[in-house]
Structure 1
Amino acid sequence: MTKISLKFWRLSAAFEEVARTRLCESSGSEHSAAEEEKEKSEDLSELVDSFLERESGGEGDWCEERESEEESGSCYESKRYGAGLERKKQLLSLIGGEDEGGERRRIWAEVESAWRSLGSGSTEEFKRRVMSWLRHKGFDAGLCKSRWEKTAQSPAGDHQYIDVISTGTRYIVEISPAAQFTIARPTDHYASLLEDFPRILVLREDMLKAVLRLICAAMRESLKERGMHVPPWRRNAYLQAKWLGPYKRTANVVPATTKVGWAGRSLVGFETVQVSSNGCCRGELVRKEGFGADVVGNLNGMHL
């Protein structure tokens, strides 16, 4: 009904415009009644033909006008395609760009070397071996474990990843990052975004935050196009909790046998890292002693 009303309004407005034009043209000149009626009929026929032709598939300015009224059809597809290209460009710039000093590139190169030497994997054991490799190469690397409680918007969860701290800057290292962003029935555009992710991702925290915003927007768009809802574990808040929420960090080459409690649960081999709400470290307690009695003695001095 709305579309019919809009068409009727446009056709009516066009008729009025022609009528005003005819009135201006006839002032100052004389026409017989028969000639005038014939000319009006021809003008009306041309106007209707033009209107119907434009309604049936015309583009250009009419396309832009229709887009402002409803985001559908070829105009909307063109706009969405342009937005998708811009998002892809921003994503590639973030995950493939360089930082000052080339520290990201050096970290990535060593993780790549570890990948080739140790084999692929995503388990805690493999990540710990990669972390140990980085420490052996002189990097301040650690194995981090984030954990968050259930909220009204997100389910509870935990995640393990590697980080490297260099001159006060924290870099997040994620192996096989695309696996963290898979969704059901992805569109071609979203699938192409996942293909852009390298098998090893090294990003500063601020860059990772920007990547998560972009990928979550693309997720919503893909799922919406498929007529599906966005699950809680694919929302921005949940994904940010994985890498940017509170975490505990260890630099132990092998898991310690002593369990450190955390909110009624246990963490094996992780040291205490106090973090603020935005994920920044306030302090870190590092255990350098051996295992056994020395470890128990150190745990007594921990403040959780």
Structure 2
Amino acid sequence: MYTPLYIPTPLKPIFSSKSLFFLATPSSSFFFKRMGHLIEEKALGDDHQRGDSLEEKISLFFDEEDEELDRNSEGDWADDEAANNELHDPIERKEFWDSQEALLLEIMERCNSMGAKLREEIGRVVERARETLVCSCSKSNSDECALCLRRRVVDLLCLKGFSASLRTSKWRHTHKFPGGSHEYIEVMASTPGRKKQIPFLIELEFRTEFEMAKACDEYRRLIAQLPKSYIGKSDYLNAILRVVCDAAKRSMKEQKIHMGPWRKRSFMQMKWSGYNDRKQPSKDQPWNKFSLSGITAAVVVK
């Protein structure tokens, strides 16, 4: 017997984790089955065990059988009559969107529980940066320049003792994707019992990355669940991308709109995969650490 997974208010649907195993949507059935196991652990497993295993299982989930997922996810359903029928079947359609929302909320709940105090502290710094921002960029056409805001956030985080820096992801033009770059913020943190520091990613305009002008109502409701700014580990970010990009594809299929390459999951993942341009503290600066409810943020003692 399965324990039902209750969706927090104001959402009304109540799902059994078992229901996630029987969805037949071509682009997401494998995904739902694997995430169903994670949700089942939440309902049946013990808290400590599922918290420790989520990071490993979510990484395994993305790596395992990735080629099969890409074939299903990136393939075009338009020529498949059965798939087209499913797009407009009211029962299957409701099942798809309800399940996407349930999965997204489950991922976000786990993300929010990871380093909650650290995330709250960083969130307060981000809000202060928004309130006190004075744009000094001559290229800005808006009141809140994203470029200047990122630099302001990094400055304030460093003043608070965080090891924060700007990161830039860059990728070349290929036959599948246009070339480009994307800048975001990274904060290095440590957890008790681990010597290796964990990077926390900060994307200040996270929700706007997924907004679409001609999306269906269900997609709009889904991305409304996303935070304005993302603060968390890359594993959870990738999990969110999997759900939202799959939903974006479904929405565009329903609206009969071509999906641009910049909307695809593999392209979105490149935005937060930077391995360069991180400014490290000089070697002669000593390091210290302070704890925020189980999370220890690395700071430079000046």
SS in structure 1 at match of 2:89: helix
Correspondence 1:127 to 2:150:
yes
Task: Determine the structure 1 residue equivalent to 2:68.
Answer: none
Mark the CA change 1:188 to 1:140 in structure 2 (over 3 Å): closer, same or farther.
Answer: same
Q: Deviations over 1:93-127 (max 9, x none)?
A: 33353115632233223222332333773522221
**Is the CA contact 1:140–1:164 (under 8 Å) kept in the aligned structure 2?**
yes
Correspondence 1:145 to 2:158:
no
**Is the CA contact 1:163–1:173 (under 8 Å) kept in the aligned structure 2?**
yes
**Is the CA contact 1:232–1:238 (under 8 Å) kept in the aligned structure 2?**
yes
Mark the CA change 1:190 to 1:75 in structure 2 (over 3 Å): closer, same or farther.
Answer: closer
**Is the CA contact 2:86–2:92 (under 8 Å) kept in the aligned structure 1?**
no
SS in structure 1 at match of 2:214: coil
Task: Determine the structure 1 residue equivalent to 2:222.
Answer: 193
The within-5 A match list for 1:216-227 is 216-227=245-256
User: Structure 2 length as normaliser, TM-score?
Assistant: 0.56
For residues 172 and 70 of structure 1, the distance between their equivalents in structure 2, rounded to whole angstroms, comes to 37
The within-5 A match list for 1:94-109 is 94-96=107-109, 97-100=112-115, 102-109=117-124
Task: Determine the structure 1 residue equivalent to 2:235.
Answer: 206
For residues 198 and 283 of structure 2, the distance between their equivalents in structure 1, rounded to whole angstroms, comes to 23
- Kindly report the root-mean-square deviation, in angstroms, between the aligned alpha carbons of the 2 structures: 2.6
Match of 2:182 among 149, 155, 159: 159
For residues 193 and 101 of structure 1, the distance between their equivalents in structure 2, rounded to whole angstroms, comes to 23
SS in structure 1 at match of 2:174: coil
For residues 242 and 83 of structure 2, the distance between their equivalents in structure 1, rounded to whole angstroms, comes to 26
SS in structure 1 at match of 2:177: coil
Deviation at 1:70, TM superposition (A): 7.4
- Residue identity matched to 1:158: S
For residues 86 and 240 of structure 2, the distance between their equivalents in structure 1, rounded to whole angstroms, comes to 30
**Is the CA contact 1:108–1:201 (under 8 Å) kept in the aligned structure 2?**
no
- Residue identity matched to 2:98: L
SS in structure 1 at match of 2:272: helix
Moved more, 108-117 or 157-166: 108-117
Q: Deviations over 1:63-93 (max 9, x none)?
A: xxxxxx7774899322221221221122233
For residues 199 and 76 of structure 1, the distance between their equivalents in structure 2, rounded to whole angstroms, comes to 32
Q: Larger RCO: Structure 1 or Structure 2 (Cα < 8 Å, ≥ 6 residues apart)?
A: 2
Structure 1: segments with no counterpart, 5+ residues: 1-68, 251-284, 290-304
Structure 2: segments with no counterpart, 5+ residues: 1-81, 135-142, 191-196, 285-302
The within-5 A match list for 1:1-304 is 72=85, 76-96=89-109, 97-100=112-115, 102-118=117-133, 121-167=144-190, 168-250=197-279, 286=281
Mark the CA change 1:70 to 1:182 in structure 2 (over 3 Å): closer, same or farther.
Answer: closer
For residues 77 and 158 of structure 1, the distance between their equivalents in structure 2, rounded to whole angstroms, comes to 40
Aligned residues: 187
User: Structure 1 length as normaliser, TM-score?
Assistant: 0.55
**Is the CA contact 1:145–1:158 (under 8 Å) kept in the aligned structure 2?**
yes
